[in-house]
Structure 1
Amino acid sequence: MTINCNGNLINLSTPKVMGILNLTPDSFYDGGSYKNETDIVTKVEKMLVDGATFIDVGAYSSRPNAINISVNEEINRIVPVVQLLVKKFPGILLSIDTFRSAVAKVCLENGAALINDISAGSLDDKMMNVIAEYKVPYIMMHMRGTPETMQQLTEYTNVTLDVKQYFAKKLAQARALGIVDLVIDPGFGFAKTTEQNFNVLQNLDLFKTMNVPILAGISRKSMIYKTLDTTASNALNGTTALNTIALTKGANILRVHDVKEALECITLFTALKLNEEL
Structure 2
Amino acid sequence: MKRPITPGLAAAALALVLATGSAQSASCDRPLFLTFDTGHMGVAPLVAEVLARQQVKATFFLANEKTLNDGRSLDAQWAPWWKARAAEGHLFGSHTFDHVYWRADRSDGSFDIRPTFGPQADRTVRMEAAAYCTELQRSATRFTEMTGQRMAPLFRAPGGKTSPALLAAAGQCGWQHVPWSPAGFLGDELSSEKFPNAALLQKALRDIRPGDILLAHLGIWSRQDPWAPAVLEPLLIGLKQRGHCFATLAEHLAYREAVRKGSITP
Report the TM-score when normalising by structure 2.
0.45
Q: Which structure is higher in RCO with an 8 Å CA cutoff and minimum separation 6?
A: 2
